[in-house]
Chains A and B, each alone.
With several copies, the nearest count.
Chain A
Amino acid sequence: MSRLFGIIHRDLRLALRQGSDSVMVVTFFVLTVVLFPFGIGPEANILERVSSGVLWVTALLASMLSLDRLFQADYEDGSLELLALTPTPLELLVLGKVAAHWLTTGLPLMVAAPVLAVLLNMNADGFVTLLLTMLLGTPTLSLIGAMGAALVLGARRGGVLLSLLVLPLYIPVLIFGVGAIDAAVQGLPVHAHLLILGGMLLAALALTPWATAAALRQALE
């Protein structure tokens, strides 16, 4: 346990010192969303209509792009070998890294989302649901993305491959996330959507650390 916190602590420190991921992701998220009114035009009703979709698609992209380098730096400077050689299960270390990553990217994303929703003219009824779907959805994205990032370590075309592997698995999160918000805006119940998102989070939590750790081990061979 103390080792889990050890790695979370270190990754948080790294992220804050070099500021690369967390600020980058939020910047990307904000800028992309802000670019849309420029691209689409400022008509309120159209913006409102596409707001949930734009927010979730952008969040998806932001999460995927930041995960691209989740293990890369550690792989290149030899830290990953040492992590794999500590007497701690690699699965636990993976969870630690994903947790740190979510804290520095998913969380800021969640905080930024309502503000951007206002900018996109989203109906206020959707705000709580937006936050809830993000709370359940972004960790799932991080977990799935970590698996993809581990699989493509050292591959040619790592980046493309990552999107090819990960984006399809992201689609259910996108569909249910947007579905929940649209339901909320229309005053329909959202329990079912949220339950499914929660189920996906639990499944990802149970399965992906093993796959990720296995992928990391084979990347080090």
Chain B
Amino acid sequence: MHRFANPARFLRLASAILPWSSALSALLIAAGLYFALFHSPADYQQGETVRIMYVHVPSAWLAMACYSTMALSSAVALIWKHPLADLVAKAASPIGAAFTFLCLVSGSLWGRPMWGTWWAWDARLTSMLILFFLYLGHMALINAFDDPSRGAKAAAILALAGFVNIPIIKFSVDWWNTLHQPASVSKFGMPSIDPAMLLPLLLMALGFTCFFVTVLLIRVRTEIIASKLRAIRMTQIHAVPVAVPVAE
């Protein structure tokens, strides 16, 4: 009967994880920044602009990872009706939207010096823009219904349907010849990138991930309290003594 899973366990778990994840993310991001800004070489082609990579690529990865989290928890919510799953999806989408935005803007800032244009209707860029709109739509849809459980279900369906976009983002550089860089770090086998660049990249990516976990836990906790608030108000409105079972 996980339909009514007790959130107490989740909250205990969250309280246990939170201090670690927040400390770890601060540490990793600090270290990543140090290496990114002071201890990595400029690229022989791209010069100093390559430093944008340490923001751009981790945020791109996180944007996609966050959407995948959302899609996964939406599937769990639809199939097993686990109430926490809905809350996770709801908590995740603003985070994902923020990082997608960061990826878009940093990519654009990188594109200007590299390609000579802020924007091009290239497959990867377009699909990333669509991801951003999907996040916005998800957030809007969740809040568009008077009954929050309906909003959650509609948004879950949207999240799942929109998941097709993720492989398109990932593989668009392989399927179409585009302006954008093909995978060099995330390739299977040996990454074709200078280890001095790889280190800060990985540090930043891990730091962002820990940050994501931290904020996600905070937001899920907020959502749990909010749903509890709603339940209390609802029982006040309907004047039904929620908890007094009627003797038959």
Q: How many residues of chain A have a CB within 8 Å of chain B?
A: 27
* A94 beta carbon closer than 8 Å to chain B: no
* B65 beta carbon closer than 8 Å to chain A: no
A152-B141, A165-B141, A172-B126 in contact; A208/B161 too (CB < 8 A)? Answer: yes
A38-B121, A175-B121, A215-B154 in contact; A155/B144 too (CB < 8 A)? Answer: yes
Complex interface: chain A residues within 8 A of B157 (CB): 151, 211, 214-215, 218
Q: Complex: how many Å from CA A211 to CA B150?
A: 15
**Quick one: which of B133, B144, B146, B153 contacts A168, CB cutoff 8 A?**
B133
* A169 beta carbon closer than 8 Å to chain B: yes
Contact residues of B between 120 and 153, Cβ < 8 Å to A: 121, 126, 129-130, 133-134, 136-137, 140-141, 144-146, 150-151, 153
B136 touches A207 (CB 8 A): no
* A30 beta carbon closer than 8 Å to chain B: no
* A164 beta carbon closer than 8 Å to chain B: yes
B130 touches A203 (CB 8 A): no
Complex interface: chain B residues within 8 A of A218 (CB): 150, 153-154, 157
Query: What distance in Å separates the Cβ of B90 from its nearest Cβ neighbour in chain A?
Result: 16
A164 touches B133 (CB 8 A): yes
A161 touches B141 (CB 8 A): yes
A156 touches B161 (CB 8 A): no
Contact residues of A between 166 and 220, Cβ < 8 Å to B: 167-169, 171-172, 175, 203, 207-208, 211, 214-215, 218-219
Interface range on chain B (Cβ under 8 Å from partner): 20 to 34
B130 touches A168 (CB 8 A): yes
B130 touches A169 (CB 8 A): yes
Chain B residue at minimum C-beta to C-beta distance from A42: B119
* B229 beta carbon closer than 8 Å to chain A: no
Query: What distance in Å separates the Cβ of A111 from its nearest Cβ neighbour in chain B?
Result: 20
A211 touches B141 (CB 8 A): no
Complex interface: chain B residues within 8 A of A215 (CB): 154, 157
* B164 beta carbon closer than 8 Å to chain A: yes
A207 touches B161 (CB 8 A): yes
B137 touches A161 (CB 8 A): yes
Q: Complex: how many Å from CA A98 to CA B137?
A: 22
**Quick one: which of A158, A164, A175, A207 contacts B137, CB cutoff 8 A?**
A164
Chain A residue at minimum C-beta to C-beta distance from B153: A218
A168 touches B121 (CB 8 A): no
Interface class of chain B by DSSP: helix
B150 touches A168 (CB 8 A): no
* B160 beta carbon closer than 8 Å to chain A: yes
Complex interface: chain B residues within 8 A of A171 (CB): 126, 129-130
Q: Complex: how many Å from CA A171 to CA B134?
A: 13
Q: Complex: how many Å from CA A165 to CA B157?
A: 12
* B158 beta carbon closer than 8 Å to chain A: yes
Interface class of chain A by DSSP: helix
Query: What distance in Å separates the Cβ of A43 from its nearest Cβ neighbour in chain B?
Result: 13
**Quick one: which of B133, B146, B161 contacts A211, CB cutoff 8 A?**
B161
Complex interface: chain A residues within 8 A of B150 (CB): 154, 218-219, 221
Interface centre among A158, A167, A168, A211 (most CB of B within 10 A): A168
A151-B141, A156-B146, A218-B157 in contact; A164/B136 too (CB < 8 A)? Answer: yes
Complex interface: chain B residues within 8 A of A147 (CB): 161
Complex interface: chain A residues within 8 A of B160 (CB): 211
Complex interface: chain A residues within 8 A of B78 (CB): 214
Complex interface: chain A residues within 8 A of B158 (CB): 151, 165, 211
21 contacts between A and B (CB under 8 A): A147-B161, A151-B141, A151-B154, A154-B150, A156-B144, A158-B144, A161-B137, A161-B141, A165-B137, A168-B130, A169-B130, A171-B129, A171-B130, A172-B130, A203-B164, A207-B164, A215-B154, A218-B150, A218-B154, A218-B157, A221-B150
**B interface residue numbers (CB < 8 A to A):** 78, 121, 126, 129-130, 133-134, 136-137, 140-141, 144-146, 150-151, 153-154, 157-158, 160-161, 164
4 A-B pairs with least C-beta separation: A168-B133, A155-B144, A211-B161, A218-B153
Q: A156-B145, A167-B133, A203-B164 are in contact. List 16 more A-B contacts (CB 8 A).
A: A147-B161, A152-B154, A154-B145, A155-B141, A155-B151, A161-B141, A164-B140, A168-B130, A169-B130, A172-B126, A211-B160, A211-B161, A215-B157, A218-B153, A218-B154, A218-B157
